[in-house]
Structure 1
Amino acid sequence: MRLNRRTLLRSMAVAGASVVLPPAMARAESIWDMMARDRVLRNADTAGASAAAQALIETQEPILSYDTAYNLQLAISQYEPFVAAGGWEEIPREVYGLRLGEDRDGGIALKRRLISSGDMPYVERVNNLIDPATDAGIRTFQARHGLQLTGQVDEATFYAMAVPAATRLNQLYLNLQRVTNMAATLSERYVVVNIPAATIEAVEGGFVVQRHTAVVGRVDRATPILASKIHQINFNPYWHVPKSIIRNDLIKYMNEDPEYLAKFRIHIYDGSGNEIQPSQINWQTEEAVQYMFRQEPGAENSMGHCKINFHNPHDVYLHDTPTKALFGENARFHSSGCVRVEGVNQLVAWLLRDNGWDLSRVDSTFASNARHDEALTNPVPIHTTYISAWANRQGTVSFRDDVYQFDAQGKVTFEA
């Protein structure tokens, strides 16, 4: 059975776990337990542990480059003998929920797991107490797997820890081939959208100059793999609702709330450009698909303050968004194929540098809500990619979930 979060949790439920993974059986806490826990909590620098974990992954090396291919080869040379020796141990369900200061069954297994993957320094003897070193190890593990640095073995962290070392080695093999195949096509300056990581890198001279959190396509509306060039920025754009969204979403929303279009300032037009009123459409059918739906510029606009255009047959693009909370999630796969960009103003300023724009001008244009289209003097290459494992020069190896199941299919090359 292919391992994913759903099958993992289902198998644990069959084995006797409840819907929510339980902690180990509670035991009476003595005064000595309380004093030990309080001492651990007082001496812990969780903010410092998170900062150290971030520093391990936030280097200037691109996810997609010749250097990445070399670093992946080094990682493979370390993983191969480890996997041949059996890899890390399977973690028990008692590990779920553990966090700083707790002292219960599962602590020893957690420490052994963190030590075996290099997230925690080796120690001769381990006990169940989750001390600051273990907390730092959890945060390092979370950083390497693109998870929120909570310091707790939450669901996403537990799932990532349960993936066998052999599966991770296979990811390294596949991604080495992907990176090697693409590295020769890279230029001096380019943008990379890495779908499994839901991140964007702006690369120049072999170094990452900007890194952005992104929201990419969900499984049933995947962001396509492609190579193109960014050629235009639309400031404060109209949003023309794609027919797929009209059919799959908008009709449903109008049946639930007849004022939906008015609330989000969306107008309807026929093929001659005449405005149609919502009351003229039969929302119990797919009649709406034959019309054009256009959302006005402004705070509610689904593209926010800008749209970043590049030629492609899929009608996808990068854009701003009014829904900023999604950037804080572990799994950022919510869009209909397009890519939302956190801190998009900084990326736009970098893209328009040769046009004489700076961040101040971008911000003021956003704030004006005025429509403006700016063609790039020098179009910038963009690559949307599927890299689910990579490594940097420090030896830090990062992994992501195989969200589109391309690793499971053994895919190395993709159609443009």
Structure 2
Amino acid sequence: MSASIQNLASKATGGAVGPTLPVRKLGKNGPTITALGYGTMGLSAFYGAPKPDAERFAVLDKAFDLGELFWDSADMYQDSEDLLGAWFKQNPGKREKIFLATKFANCSDAEGNRWVDSTPEYCRKACEKSLKRLGVESIDLYYAHRLDGKTPVELTVRELKKLKEEGKIKYIGLSECDSDSLRRACKVEHIDAVQIEYSPFSLDIESEQIGLLKTARELGVAIVAYSPIGRGMLGGQIRSPKDFEEGDFRTFAPRFSEENFPKNLELVDRITEIAKKKNCTASQLTLAWLMAQGDDIFPIPGTTNLSRLEENVNSLKVKLSKEEEQEIRKACENAVVSGARYPEAFAASCFASTPPLKERDAVAEGPPFLTSQAQQQSRVLSNSSSSHPSARPRTLPPPGIKQ
């Protein structure tokens, strides 16, 4: 371990004796941060009713104590930013030890309508609101959560660059963009990270057709992998759609349907078999395998369970031989993953493209609303919203939301 990494690890734990986690450089121009992040979405949204604040704070306390200091949020994760802001207020001095990421562009209203807005105007407005909710002076990594398909990506990134120059954000990210949009964005300002779904269930970014992983590596952009454990399914504990509680958005995802669930369990069971031989859990094997795909991969699994949090962190102790890595790769490639990641209504914002800058005047003004089908699904989840006083309307997330 280099001296610089040792210093970072010491800073991460306040210089005290405690666990230090492996670190990686976030893209060619980014900081050195913990290789495994923590996705906070599940603490506040989309997986059933949120737990009481005391239990949620305990999870954040545990993540910090374990040295898992790369935290990921978004303004559309209901009260997630408020929760983190309250935790920072209760723990003065710890904010500077957290590499904090959040996102903008997913919008909703009280009726459950949901749309994407990546215009420069909304970018700035959303950033100001996130800074206030989080109670921070600057956001470490700020993503465009989605691209709206109408705003040229160059305009979005120009505004992000301005926010960076003003000190309101430090690093810039995109999420669920296509290869071309990433390339165009980097011509305006370097993109430090792309957040995308990446797991044994979702290897799309590796394909020649999508080409996102190849482009990111060419440009020196890190890959932040959301849903690295397949929204929990690759952990082996979820065996049926009936295991989801009311209000869990996975009940809308084709991959978790009654028809597709048994088919997808075949890969889960194969990974579990390999994990048993390795004396680790299926979740740990999955995370270790993802991180073995390159030093530019940063999985951000989420959980509300303290033991599961520690289990995930211990994946950093799992070292795979080339033969073991290839065995898992073969299992992934031989598997027939059934069902799309999201309902069809949300597919348009996966690997999203944007119009060329010169054609902007020919594009209709205003962000696109979702189809009536998507709105109906959003309202179903809105009706199952938690009773937490600061929670926003519970709605189905657009494609690409992590954990």
Fold shared, TM-score > 0.5 on shorter chain:
no
Q: TM-score, normalised by structure 1?
A: 0.21
Q: TM-score, normalised by structure 2?
A: 0.22
The structure that is strand-richer by fraction is 1
User: Which structure has the larger Rg over C-alpha atoms?
Assistant: 1
The structure that is helix-richer by fraction is 2
